Homo-oligomer: A and B are copies of this chain.
Amino acid sequence: MTFAHRLWKALEEKGHPAMVGLDPRPEHFPEPFASHAKTGSRAAAEATREYHRALLPLLADKVAVVKPQAAFFEALGLYGWEVLWDAVQFAKELKLMVVLDAKRGDIGSTSEAYAQAFLGGGQYGDLPKADALTINPYLGEDACKPFLEVAATEKAGLFILVKTSNPGAGLFQDWGEPPLAAQVADQVRQWGSDRIDASGWSAVGAVVGATRPQELAQWRQRMPQSPLLLPGFGFQGGTAAGLEPAFDAKGRGAIVNSSRSILWAHRRPEFAHLPNWESQVEAALEEMCQALASLQQREKPEAHR
């Protein structure tokens, strides 16, 4: 089954295109995990493992995809890397799809090592595999090729950074005329052209910030067959309104990420009346899923393409 087919099928079973980011910051965990994390990296990593063991089943009930952010695991050092792969493996056992947000990119053989690390089960193929990986295109085509090749072998997806969700994204991404990000988008389209499945979707997608809905139609037009990863929903200010251009008449086309609005549900005043962090996460998930469900339930007389 192609990556895109697996992705759309999984999202359709849940009825919305929401994805939850795993950005473990132990000092912000709900209790008792935050207290367990306090004595240093090893304890924090252990608390992170326990937290994810409790959190992931709640997520698996409501969403189809999780996006572990490598940076927060790496900030727990050697202990964190172990906990990252524990979370990936547990997520897969729960039938969650895993988009690993590591934004890697390097020259040829080094890119291949990264691709094997995240998508190929490591150099020896005996480790867990993510379903997709985010990559940074700055080093060019020969640097992206190893990711494309390993992803093809593994039937995995890629999401290549095109236009990110941070306020200063334009400094380099808007450089030149047409802007660099448009040139990257054209390459994404081309690189993904030999991985398009029978339903018309490629396994090579793009990251486009959900904080800039006004640009979405343009990105969809430049990459008509690429799944889009839209980060920044929720705490970063993105909303469901304005995300429609990323989706086709069948409600396919993108996954929408939120991290803090779910992970920090226990700190949200509107959920303070709920009895525990689990019910607060469930309420935040319910809110997010409802907000995004309309994107999949639209029926338009004609597809956008």
Using a CB–CB distance below 8 Å, which chain A residues touch chain B? 23, 25-26, 40-41, 44, 69, 71-72, 74-78, 80-82, 84-85, 103-108, 110-111, 113-114, 116-118, 122-124, 126-128, 136-143, 161, 164-173, 175-177, 180, 183-184, 187
Chain B residues contacting A107 (CB-CB under 8 Å) are 164-166
**CA–CA, A169 and B142, complex, Å:** 8
Q: A104 contacts B138, CB within 8 Å? A: no
Partner of A40 from B40, B85, B124 at Cβ < 8 Å = B124
In whole Å, how far is A35's beta carbon from the nearest beta carbon of chain B? 14
Q: Do the beta carbons of B177 and A123 come within 8 Å of each other?
A: no
Set of chain B residues within 8 Å of A137, measured between Cβ atoms: 138, 172
CB distance from A66 to the nearest CB of B (A): 16
The reply to whether B122 and A139 contact each other, CB–CB distance below 8 Å, is no
Count chain B CB atoms within 10 A of each CB in A85, A104, A136, A139 and give the residue with the most.
Answer: A139
**A44–B127 alpha-carbon span in the complex (Å):** 13
Residues of B within 8 A of A161 (CB): 138-139
Q: Is the CB of A113 within 8 A of B75?
A: yes
26 residue pairs of the A-B complex, CB under 8 angstroms, read A23-B110, A25-B123, A44-B124, A69-B110, A71-B110, A71-B113, A71-B117, A74-B113, A74-B114, A75-B116, A77-B85, A78-B82, A78-B85, A82-B82, A107-B166, A136-B138, A138-B161, A138-B173, A139-B164, A140-B166, A140-B173, A141-B168, A142-B166, A143-B169, A171-B187, A176-B180
Evaluate whether A180 and B172 lie within 8 angstroms (CB atoms) in the complex, with A77-B122, A114-B71, A140-B166 already known: yes
